[in-house]
Amino acid sequence: MWCIPPKANAAFACNMEDVLDTYTRPIDPKKPLICMDETNKQLLSDPLEPLPPQPGSVARYDYHYEREGVANLFMFFAPLLGQRWVKVTQQRTACVWAETMREVADTVYPDAEKIVVVLDNLNTHSPVSFYQAFPPAEARRLVERFEFHYTPKHGSWLNMAEIELSVLIRQCLAGRIPNQEMLSQQVQAWQKERNEQVVKVHWHFTTQDARQKLKSLYPKYES
């Protein structure tokens, strides 16, 4: 069980219920719901060519490897539609996040009136990043395109993009990948297959469930 200081319980409960209520909204093409999260992948190359598989044995790799840097992966997941979009970048700065969010607004959801986003409280995941990356008018335009709902501190498990990232890591990122180009190719192939299968997350945990099952996380008060 995660540990939450008593003074933070009210903030945790408030943010948790905000996210859970957001998940109950019906599908609205003008206000699509997406969950956003990110992770990174250490790029590793093999100094020696692996031995190819033989009948009765798999390919064999030398235990030596060379570090080739780290790549960042932004996950955008539409849980109600079973669609996801993964962006591989070289960095994870505030400006890179802002550029990626602009791509979400103008390329992935160009016709949306407002894009509803569930995300964590990482310092770069903020409307402030738009003003760091773009002139004021463009930054304000992007701020108006999004409606942000933040998971509480110690509550990243409420973000369905985290579930999707865990699947990506298990199915696509387990082995050695030497460079960002190959990483992008593998991620795009995984994304395409999963989107074609329309894989969704069927979320059943509600605000009412939280009030019953997580009573200890709510502040105690006297009537």
pLDDT, tens digit only, all 223 positions of the chain: 455 555 668 888 999 999 999 999 999 999 999 999 999 998 877 665 655 666 766 555 555 667 768 899 999 999 999 999 999 999 889 999 999 999 999 999 999 999 999 999 999 999 999 999 999 999 999 999 999 999 998 899 999 999 999 999 999 888 888 889 999 999 999 999 999 999 999 899 999 999 998 888 777 766 5
How many C-beta neighbours within 10 Å does residue 100 have? 19
Q: Is residue 169 part of a domain?
A: yes
Question: Which structure tokens are listed for 164?
Answer: 């999707």
Q: Give me the domain span that covers residue 96.
A: 31-43+65-198
What is the distance between the alpha carbons of residues 14 and 34, in angstroms, rounded to a whole number?
20
Place of tokens 């009030």: 211
Residue 162 resides in a domain: yes
Return all residues near 36 (Cβ < 8 A) that are at least 6 apart.
Answer: 74, 75, 76, 77, 117, 118, 119, 125, 159, 161
Beta strands in 121-206 (DSSP E): 146-150
Q: Is residue 179 part of a domain?
A: yes
pLDDT of residue 56: 66
Instruction: Provide the 10 A C-beta neighbour count for residue 32.
Output: 21
Q: Looking at the domain assignment, is residue 214 inside a domain? A: no
Residue 135 lies in a domain: yes
pTM for this model (two decimals): 0.85
CATH number at residue 85: 3.30.420.10
Q: What φ, ψ does residue 36 adopt, rounded to 5°?
A: -125, 135
Number of structural domains in the chain: 1
| Structure tokens given for 17 | 């219920």
Residue 217, in any domain of the structure: no
Tell me if 49 is assigned to some domain. no
Does 3 map to a domain? no
